[in-house]
Structure formats: structure tokens, C-alpha cells
């Protein structure tokens, strides 16, 4: 295979061995992604985003995680041209946001759901945006329906709850049918049904081949929603990997064993190098340092009757805490005392 770059953002694969019977190779839009390159932002003497480099790809949900004050919103604002980088750059489709033709049709963003003019109705707000961006008027009712606001579309947005404002914010983001979605804590204020709803919407948008970049503090939810993670702390990149890899790298996994002869088995497992914890019910052991296969072999050797061997995987929350605990800027006094 040889590769020929045709212009910024387009790379076409050409097979040198493929004859006339071969279907033409699919073109891959290399720049169909967000590219963050050495992005840095100083506020006065403070560096709040520090030489960040990563890419956000289409077709998957990428979760953007970090403790309070890590620099997530500032990064998103720089991608959207709302904050000027001190150095480095953020590119969408290989371009800066301000150079995009008809940006609302390329990137949809939900940063602060409360910025809407409170005296305007949801429909009027969307209609104004559609008109000023040369978008079809019919799209307004489509997105209202999509976010479940049709019934209250005539109400003033000032009367909306936080969750309803988030839904309206998502409607704005989707108005131009964009290929990129940047969502800053879209689950903030949503009820449980709303959280499931937004999870499904994000997954569906990604499955359609769009690029979905979403920040959230709801880690259990992110574990269900995101395929890929970009984790930052104190403005620096901590991880850029799949959710599974992040958990496997950072959270402790163990194996729970339920057996009839726990005493005999426990001694044998300790001799084999396992680190054991007897669980509260007294009927099971938690084993660190040995694989399920090794435990099975030891059990067979000592003739222990095993009822269950169960792999316990660490959670995203546990992995996140481990990887970011040294960088926490904002945590409660009570936590500090406990730590002392
Ligand atoms: N306009 C500004 N002027 C000065 N400092 C700012 C400004 N905007 C953000 N900051 C600071 O930059 C740091 C990063 O803020 P940012 O809002 O990007 O964090 P975040 O990761 O989005 O946090 P959270 O999870 O709380 O939303 C914070 O310490 C914040 O106080
Ligand atoms: Mg933020």
C-alpha cells in the first residue's frame, strides 16, 4: 500500500497490487478529527492548560475527564475559538474554528446551558439561530422533538429547570446537523431518565460517524458511555487511551474465590504468592497477585472444592482517583484531615 496526501485532511490509500477486479479503496479523511497540538493557556502567571496534545476521532465517544479546575472547559473554549491559546493550536478538520465555513454545520457545542436569553421561548431562540446561520426552519422542530422539548417549546427559557436548559443546549448544538459535538458536562442537572437519554443520544451520534467529545464528572456514566478517554489534571495530559486500558492500567483487579475448604486453599494460595483477604461473610477470599488460572491450578493440586472463581475489575472511578489524587486542587478540609 502506498499513501498519497492529496490536500490537508485527505489521504487516499492506493493499492499497488490491486487489479481491475478490486473495489476502489475507501478514502480516509485523516483530518476528520479534532487535533490538539501543544495547547497552552496562561491566565496571568498561572498556566491552566499546559502543552496538551491529543486527537479526538470520529465514530466513538471520547470522554474528557479531570478534577475541578483541571482545564477541561478552557480547552473546549480554545477549540471553539472563545479563548485564545497562549501557544499551540486546536484544529477541527485541519482548520482553526474561526476559519471553518459555516461553523454551526461543522461543530455543535454545549458549554454553558444557562447563557440563553431568558425572555425568549425555546422555539424563538432556535428559530433565531437557524435564520442567522442560514439553516432550514424545519430543523427547529426536528431538534425540539429530538431533545423532548416540543411540548414546552413556546415557554420562556427563563422558566426552564437546569435539565430542560441542558436539553435546549443540546438542541442548539444539534441544529446545524454537525459532524463534531463538544459537550461540556451535558449530564449536569439531568434526572436519571435524562442521563440514560443523553447517553443513548451520544452513542447514536458517534455510531453515525460523528466525533463526540464530552466532559463529565459522572464516572460510572462515562464508563458506560465513552469508548475512549482523555484525562487531564492541573492542565496536563494524564491518559489518552480506551476506557478498558485506563481501568486495567490504574485500578486494582482481584479475584474472588468461594470454596468449601477455604483454610486449606488459603494456605496453598499464600504459598503460591497470593495476597489474601478473607471476605466479611467468611465464605470467600479475595486474592491479589494470582490469575484465575493459577488459582484453579492450586485448587486442583490441593483437592479443594471450588464453587466460584470471579474476576473483580476495578471501576473507572477508582482508576480516576488513583491517577489524579496527587494533583487535586480543590478538595474538602475534612478530606485533608483524614489524609493527615
Ligand atoms: N477567565 C479566566 N480567568 C482566570 N482564570 C480562569 C479563567 N477561566 C478559567 N480560569 C481558571 O483556569 C482553571 C481551569 O478552569 P476550567 O474551568 O477550565 O476547569 P475545568 O476542568 O473545566 O473544571 P470543572 O470540572 O470545575 O468545570 C481554573 O483554576 C480556573 O479558575
Ligand atoms: Mg468545566
- The residue whose C-alpha atom lies closest to atom 17 belonging to ligand 1 is 73
Determine the atom of ligand 1 nearest the C-alpha atom of 70: 21
Question: Distance between CA 215 and CA 136 in Å, rounded?
Answer: 30
Q: Is the pLDDT of residue 228 over 50?
A: yes
Q: What is the pLDDT of residues 157-177, one digit of tens each?
A: 888 888 888 999 999 999 999
Residues 6+ apart with CB under 8 A from 115: none
Say what the alpha-carbon torsion angle 72, 75, 79, 80 is, to the nearest 10 degrees.
Answer: 70
Q: Is the pLDDT of residue 209 over 50?
A: yes
In contact, 160 and 168? CB cutoff 8 Å: yes
Interior/surface letters 228-263, b for 16+ CB within 10 angstroms, e for the rest = bbbbbbbbbbbbbeebeebbeebbeebbebebeebe
Residues 6+ apart with CB under 8 A from 150: 141, 144
Q: Is the pLDDT of residue 280 over 90?
A: no
User: How many percent of the chain have pLDDT more than 90?
Assistant: 69
pLDDT at 7: 32
Dist. CA 78 → ligand 2 center (Å): 13
Sheet-wide strand order for 228-233: 107-110, 180-184, 211-215, 61-65, 228-233, 236-242
Q: What is the mean pLDDT of the chain?
A: 86
Dist. CA 141 → ligand 2 center (Å): 30
Mean pLDDT, rounded, for 243-259:
88
Provide the H-helix boundaries in the chain.
72-79, 122-132, 138-146, 162-174, 192-207, 219-225, 243-250, 262-271, 292-302, 316-324, 333-339
- 137 alpha-carbon distance from chain centroid: 32
- The residue whose C-alpha atom lies closest to atom 1 belonging to ligand 1 is 43
Q: Is the pLDDT of residue 104 over 80?
A: yes
Dist. CA 334 → ligand 1 center (Å): 23
Question: Distance between CA 25 and CA 332 in Å, rounded?
Answer: 56
pLDDT at 18: 38
- The residue whose C-alpha atom lies closest to atom 31 belonging to ligand 1 is 69
The CA distances from residue 96 to 76, 151, 173, 177, 204, in Å, are: 13, 38, 18, 19, 26
Protein residues with CB under 6 Å of any ligand 1 atom? 43, 48, 66, 68-74
- 35 alpha-carbon distance from chain centroid: 16
Which of 196, 151, 188 is CA-nearest to residue 169? 188
- Max mean pLDDT among 12-16, 38-42, 148-152, 312-316 falls in 38-42
Dist. CA 2 → ligand 1 center (Å): 45
* Exposed/middle/buried for residue 129 (C-beta within 10 Å: 0-12, 13-18, 19+): middle
Q: Does residue 179 sit in helix, strand or coil?
A: coil
Which of 265, 276, 275 is CA-nearest to residue 302? 265
The CA distances from residue 85 to 36, 41, 79, 232, 248, in Å, are: 11, 5, 9, 17, 34
C-alpha cell at 192: 436519571
pTM: 0.81
Q: What is the pLDDT of residues 34-79, one digit of tens each?
A: 999 999 999 999 999 999 999 999 999 999 999 999 999 999 999 9
- The residue whose C-alpha atom lies closest to atom 30 belonging to ligand 1 is 69
pLDDT at 172: 94
Q: Which domains does the chain have, with CATH numbers?
A: 3-240 (3.40.50.300), 254-312 (3.30.70)
Dist. CA 70 → ligand 1 center (Å): 7
pLDDT band at 283 (very low <50, low <70, confident <90, very high): confident
pLDDT at 113: 63
pLDDT band at 10 (very low <50, low <70, confident <90, very high): very low
C-alpha cell at 276: 489474601
C-alpha cell at 307: 464453587
- The residue whose C-alpha atom lies closest to atom 6 belonging to ligand 1 is 43
Q: What is the pLDDT of residues 113-133, one digit of tens each?
A: 666 677 889 999 999 999 999
Amino acid at each position: 500500500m502506498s499513501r498519497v496526501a492529496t490536500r490537508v485532511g485527505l489521504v487516499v490509500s492506493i493499492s499497488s497490487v490491486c487489479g481491475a477486479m478490486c473495489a476502489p479503496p475507501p478514502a480516509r479523511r485523516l483530518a476528520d478529527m479534532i487535533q490538539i497540538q501543544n495547547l497552552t493557556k496562561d491566565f496571568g502567571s498561572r498556566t491552566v492548560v499546559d502543552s496538551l496534545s491529543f486527537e479526538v476521532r470520529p465514530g466513538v465517544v471520547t470522554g474528557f475527564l479531570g478534577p475541578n479546575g483541571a482545564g477541561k472547559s478552557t480547552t473546549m473554549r480554545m477549540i471553539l475559538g472563545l479563548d485564545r491559546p497562549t501557544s499551540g493550536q486546536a484544529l477541527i478538520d485541519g482548520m482553526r474554528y474561526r476559519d471553518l465555513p459555516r461553523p454551526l454545520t461543522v461543530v455543535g457545542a454545549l458549554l454553558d446551558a444557562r447563557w440563553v436569553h431568558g425572555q425568549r421561548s425555546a422555539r424563538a431562540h432556535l428559530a433565531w439561530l437557524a435564520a442567522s446561520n442560514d439553516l432550514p426552519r424545519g430543523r427547529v422542530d426536528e431538534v425540539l422533538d429530538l431533545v423532548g422539548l416540543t411540548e414546552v417549546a413556546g415557554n420562556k427559557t427563563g422558566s426552564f429547570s437546569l435539565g430542560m436548559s441542558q436539553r435546549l443546549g443540546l438542541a442548539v448544538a444539534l441544529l446545524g446537523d454537525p459532524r463534531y459535538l463538544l459537550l461540556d458536562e451535558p449530564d449536569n442537572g439531568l434526572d436519571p431518565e435524562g442521563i440514560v437519554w443523553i447517553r443513548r443520544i451520544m452513542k447514536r451520534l458517534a455510531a453515525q460517524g460523528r466525533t463526540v467529545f464530552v466532559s463529565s464528572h459522572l464516572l460510572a456514566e462515562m464508563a458506560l458511555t465513552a469508548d475512549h478517554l482523555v484525562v487531564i489534571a492541573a492542565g496536563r495530559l494524564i491518559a489518552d487511551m480506551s476506557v478498558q486500558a485506563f481501568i486495567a492500567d490504574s485500578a486494582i483487579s482481584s479475584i474472588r474465590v468461594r470454596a468449601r475448604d477455604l483454610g486449606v486453599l488459603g494456605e496453598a494460595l499464600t504459598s503460591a504468592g497470593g495476597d489474601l483477604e478473607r471476605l466479611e461473610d467468611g465464605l470467600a477470599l479475595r486474592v491479589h497477585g494470582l490469575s484465575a488460572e493459577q488459582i484453579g491450578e492450586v485448587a486442583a493440586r490441593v483437592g479443594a472444592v471450588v464453587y466460584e472463581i470471579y474476576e473483580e475489575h476495578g471501576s473507572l472511578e477508582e482508576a480516576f482517583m488513583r491517577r489524579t489524587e496527587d494533583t487535586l486542587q480543590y478538595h474538602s478540609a475534612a478530606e485533608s484531615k483524614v489524609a493527615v
